[in-house]
Amino acid sequence: MKVFVVIERRADYSRYKPILEKMVKDSFFEIHLVVTGVCLLEEHGSDVNYIEKDGFKISARIPMFDTIRPDNGAEMVRSMSKVMNGLVDELEKSKPDAVLSGFDIGANFAVTIAAAHMNIPVFHIQGGEVTGNIDESIRHAMSKFSHIHLPATEKSKQRLIRMGENPKNIHVVGCPSIDVLINTPIIQKEILEKEFDLDFSKPFITLLQHSVTTESEQSRNQIKETIDAIKELKIQCLVILPNNDAGFSKIIDEIKKSGLRWVPSLSTDKFVNLCRNSWALVGNSSSGIHESATFKIPVVNIGNRQMGREKSKNIIDVSNNKLEIKNAIKKCLYDKEFRDYVKTIENPYGIGDSSSKIIKIIKNTSLKGIIQKSFYE
């Protein structure tokens, strides 16, 4: 079975990686892997190098963004149009049996629409979730173009049913990035401390804050509130630069002149191990929502980007306000009762067996007659 997969961002890769690893080892599968988006951009860390280092064969690289480009919603639309043309060519050339799509971002949105128009069955990972940002609309639109749904939770499944998707085509599998956390080898603390000039015995936070596309004009002020809170606390912080959603350049500009340590991106193994040693995660990344409960660490979730997602009780929601952010970080770092409680929580997004479930579903699903959808009532 030939399966077509597109990777645009490091977040995609962290979810696809355990699935791809199992597919590579199973003669049932042939993978047509396309890399695009910020994974090809040096300014965002060239994550394509990590994909190759992990041993995956890349079938095609499709440029999606120009190095010099406007930072706005219009450019996001142009990039989707650009990548869709390339993806259509790859779909025609490779003739896959199915597309494994996922989440809520441009290139996967493009390949989902293209495949549906070309009568290629689409398996969609993590539909039915609720958030802020343009991701909310993209994710639900992708679900309507998809044929088999692989949501992370039962609540997401029920939303898909309310959207008219047939329950027989919906399988709750958890979040595949949890598989990565469970299976990533431990890197000795001393190695990480030396590389990033950190001391894990003292308070240390990892910051990852993206732009909210529906509030992109506020992105500079929003990150300044976060940076000011962290600097006033005088704590160790490592910042991972954001993805390139509209408004990103203002965030990167403020981070680079803040004096805080930053990296453009990280390999999966280093990211996982830094999170294992973080005293808290801060920002608005989905990692704080999906993965932090498995790490058993507190999270300060800032603003509206993750609004509506199912959350564990290790997560403190705050607005883009310096005082709120500062107080929440202090609670995460110094409130012993809260920190002890966080160590007892379970992750609603699964236990690390998502990729095995997805592989089994793909292998056992008959694709005959699946293209024509009807609204389920």
Confidence band, pLDDT 50/70/90 cuts, at residue 158 = very high
The beta strands (E) that lie in the chain are given as: 2-7, 30-36, 60-62, 98-102, 122-125, 148-150, 204-208, 236-240, 261-263, 280-283, 299-302, 315-318
CA-based torsion, 134, 265, 69, 90: positive or negative: negative
306 and 330 inside one domain? yes
Q: What is the number of other CB atoms lying within 10 angstroms of the CB of residue 28?
A: 10
Q: What is the number of other CB atoms lying within 10 angstroms of the CB of residue 336?
A: 7
Chain segment 37-65, per-residue pLDDT in tens: 999 998 888 999 999 999 999 999 999 98
224 and 99 inside one domain? no
232 and 160 inside one domain? no
pLDDT at 68: 73
193 and 306 inside one domain? yes
pLDDT at 277: 97
pLDDT at 53: 94
Q: Please check whether residue 110 lies inside any domain of the structure.
A: yes
Q: Please check whether residue 373 lies inside any domain of the structure.
A: no
Count of the separate structural domains present in the chain = 2
Chain segment 15-35, per-residue pLDDT in tens: 999 999 999 999 999 999 999
158 and 259 inside one domain? no
Q: What is the number of other CB atoms lying within 10 angstroms of the CB of residue 66?
A: 12
Q: Which amino acid, 255?
A: I
pLDDT at 269: 94
Mean pLDDT, the chain, whole residue set: 96
Q: Please check whether residue 247 lies inside any domain of the structure.
A: yes
Which two tokens mark 263?
């990296």
Q: Please check whether residue 182 lies inside any domain of the structure.
A: no
Classified as helix, coil or strand, 359 is helix
Enumerate residues 6+ apart whose C-beta is below 8 A from 111.
Answer: 4, 6, 34, 84, 87, 91, 99, 101
Q: What angle do CA 258, 135, 68 make, to 5 degrees?
A: 50
Residue 69 in this model has a pLDDT that exceeds 90 = no
List Cα–Cα distances, 19 to 29, 170, 313, 352, in angstroms: 11, 18, 28, 12
pLDDT at 309: 92
187 vs 72: which has the higher pLDDT: 187
Confidence band, pLDDT 50/70/90 cuts, at residue 71 = confident
167 and 223 inside one domain? no
Indicate which CATH number applies to the domain containing 163: 3.40.50.2000
Confidence band, pLDDT 50/70/90 cuts, at residue 133 = confident
Q: Please check whether residue 44 lies inside any domain of the structure.
A: yes
212 and 243 inside one domain? yes
Q: Do the beta carbons of residue 161 and residue 335 sit within 8 Å?
A: no
pLDDT at 43: 86
Chain segment 327-350, per-residue pLDDT in tens: 999 999 999 999 999 999 999 999
Enumerate residues 6+ apart whose C-beta is below 8 A from 36.
Answer: 6, 7, 8, 61, 62, 63, 64, 83, 86, 107
Q: Please check whether residue 45 lies inside any domain of the structure.
A: yes
207 and 334 inside one domain? yes
Please state, for a pLDDT cut of 70, what percent of the chain lies above it. Answer: 100
Confidence band, pLDDT 50/70/90 cuts, at residue 295 = very high
86 and 60 inside one domain? yes
> What is the extent of the structural domain holding 338?
187-342
Residue 3 in this model has a pLDDT that exceeds 80 = yes
Q: Please check whether residue 36 lies inside any domain of the structure.
A: yes
Classified as helix, coil or strand, 3 is strand
Prediction pTM value? 0.93
167 and 63 inside one domain? yes
Dihedral angle, C-alpha 354, 357, 359, 365, nearest 10 °: -140
Confidence band, pLDDT 50/70/90 cuts, at residue 244 = confident
Rounded CA-CA distance 306/186 in Å is 29
pLDDT at 44: 86
